[in-house]
Chains A and B, each alone.
Chain A
Amino acid sequence: MSIVTFRNVGKTFGSRPVLQDVSLDIEEGQVAALIGPSGAGKSTLLRCVNQLERHSAGEISVDGLVIGTHTRSRDLTALRRRVGMVFQSFNLWPHLSALENVMIGPTSILKTPLSQARRQAEHLLDQVGLAAHMAKYPGQLSGGQQQRVAIARALAMEPRVMLFDEATSALDPEMVQEVLGVMERLAAAGTTMLVVTHEMSFARRVADRIIFMADGQIVEDAMPEDFFSAPREARSRAFLERAHLS
């Protein structure tokens, strides 16, 4: 069953098109890696899923909720509760401890009782390997630790889909693996994931599907082994050659 559907979705910033006629079905439990050169529209596509960017043409549906171009903004809140997002720059709330960052969604949005939310948050932070750091504030944590808190924060809302927007791009090299490791475990647990990434080996190993984008369009949509060993499109090949060189 597909859980995220794009039907002829377009998006323009001013007069500049950033997404053109994108159609896409993401199945439940699927891990899709979005790759492509910068400016291809990968992040915009991801941000359309939870409507941080409103699309300007077509229709998007997430877990049965249909979002048009004129859906009222209050109806978008229901959509966003079902979609978790992890940002490149973490965006943890610095005035709240790691535990509070994870708890505040359930307590303030879902009205989960405090003790239950706390137990859940402790469990999630433990799962991402931060049991010893729950009381710390984001400013006291390393980048990798902050990003793992951010993942736990998104998971606390029990989303149907997780979006990762270059989750490791802002990290020092030695911290990339600890975040990718958490993402890999999530994938193995059957989480539906859309991952914008420049980590080609991660995409190849973990994703079920590679969506290659350029100039606001999906150029190639293939299984990882096919995409990386025998890309169909000339632009995919050119991109992969550059990626291997660097």
Chain B
Amino acid sequence: MIDWHFIAIIMPRLLRACGQTMGISLCSLSLATILGLSVALLRLSPIRVLGTAAWTYVWLVRGTPLLLQLFALYYAVPLTGLRLDPWLAGVLALGFNSAAYFSEIFRAAIQSIPPGQSEAAIAIGMGPATTLWKIVLPQALRPALPPYIGQAITLIKNSSLVSVIAVPDLMQTAQSIYSVTFKVVEVMLATGVLYLFMTTLLQIAQTWLERRLNYYTVK
């Protein structure tokens, strides 16, 4: 039988840890979004070297396990004399990792905008930056949104990996509770519900944003 009373007792502690996971996820999501967009723009840049550098980044990051990248930041970087605390190492690893996926999402969305759109902007004398910011990116948001949210959900779930470098996130807290109480089922049930709660928030955000971004597509 499931010990509901036990779940009620551990809930406050799990909720605090859930806040930690949210903080890590939000920080790495912000980093990944900015970095991902930059990498996408580099990939699309006419300057060959920049495109190749961006391609290499995506190739390396997508081609190796996140756990390995986490270890690299936490154990290998200190060899250069720069010590990262676990929280920062976790945020950076998650951010750098998701940025590679985001960059491909943004690149595909930008490339889906018909070339006539930026051509019309160039023709009235808009510079490349204004064209990107006012014409291309606003239109690329809509196709980018569903895969972006999907990747953001993956990021939240992947954040559980930072538990291996002793960041007191939701997963690490859950493990430390059941390793003492041996109530694995109760702890994981509660933990699973909390992860589902966080990812549900993103799903709701997606529905709301999709409705808002559809303002100019008429039925």
Q: List 7 A-B contacts (CB under 8 A).
A: A77-B125, A81-B124, A91-B117, A91-B120, A92-B120, A93-B139, A139-B217
Q: How far is the CA of A46 from the CA of B126 in the complex (A)?
A: 19
Quick check: is A85 within 8 A (CB to CB) of the other chain? yes
Quick check: is B12 within 8 A (CB to CB) of the other chain? no
Where the two chains meet, the residues of B that have a C-beta atom closer than 8 Å to any C-beta of A are: 114, 116-117, 119-127, 130, 134-135, 138-139, 215-218
Q: How far is the CA of A94 from the CA of B141 in the complex (A)?
A: 13
Asked if residues B216 and A153 are in contact (CB atoms below 8 Å), the reply is no
Partner of B123, one of A78, A80, A94, A95: A80
Contact pattern, A 73-90, Cβ under 8 Å of B = 1, otherwise 0: 010011011011101010
For B116, the chain A residues whose CB sits under 8 A away are 87, 89, 91
The 8 lowest CB-CB distance pairs between A and B, nearest first, are A81-B125, A91-B120, A91-B116, A80-B125, A137-B216, A85-B123, A105-B124, A139-B218
Asked if residues B126 and A105 are in contact (CB atoms below 8 Å), the reply is yes
Interface size of A in residues (CB-CB distance below 8 Å): 30
Partner of B124, one of A84, A94, A95, A137: A84
Asked if residues A94 and B127 are in contact (CB atoms below 8 Å), the reply is no
Partner of A157, one of B122, B125, B127: B125
Asked if residues A139 and B216 are in contact (CB atoms below 8 Å), the reply is yes
Quick check: is A114 within 8 A (CB to CB) of the other chain? no
**Given known A-B contacts A93-B117, A93-B135, A95-B139, A153 and B218 have beta carbons under 8 A apart:** no
Q: How many A-B residue pairs have CB under 8 A?
A: 70
* Further 11 A-B residue pairs, CB within 8 A, beyond A84-B124, A154-B123: A52-B119, A52-B122, A87-B119, A91-B114, A93-B117, A94-B216, A94-B217, A95-B138, A105-B125, A108-B130, A109-B126
For A5, the chain B residues whose CB sits under 8 A away are none
Most interface-central of B120, B124, B138, B139 (chain A CB within 10 A):
B124
For A214, the chain B residues whose CB sits under 8 A away are none
Q: How far is the CA of A160 from the CA of B81 in the complex (A)?
A: 62
For B135, the chain A residues whose CB sits under 8 A away are 93
Asked if residues B130 and A109 are in contact (CB atoms below 8 Å), the reply is yes
Partner of B139, one of A78, A94, A154: A94
**CB of B215 to closest CB in A, whole Å:** 8
Where the two chains meet, the residues of A that have a C-beta atom closer than 8 Å to any C-beta of B are: 50, 52, 74, 77-78, 80-81, 83-85, 87, 89, 91-96, 104-105, 108-109, 137-140, 150, 153-154, 157
**Given known A-B contacts A94-B216, A95-B216, A139-B216, A87 and B120 have beta carbons under 8 A apart:** yes
For A87, the chain B residues whose CB sits under 8 A away are 116, 119-120, 123
For A95, the chain B residues whose CB sits under 8 A away are 138-139, 216
Asked if residues B123 and A108 are in contact (CB atoms below 8 Å), the reply is no
**Given known A-B contacts A87-B120, A91-B117, A108 and B216 have beta carbons under 8 A apart:** no
Asked if residues B134 and A104 are in contact (CB atoms below 8 Å), the reply is yes
Q: How far is the CA of A14 from the CA of B161 in the complex (A)?
A: 52
Q: How far is the CA of A81 from the CA of B215 in the complex (A)?
A: 30
**CB of B18 to closest CB in A, whole Å:** 37
**CB of A205 to closest CB in B, whole Å:** 27
**Given known A-B contacts A94-B139, A140-B218, A108 and B120 have beta carbons under 8 A apart:** no
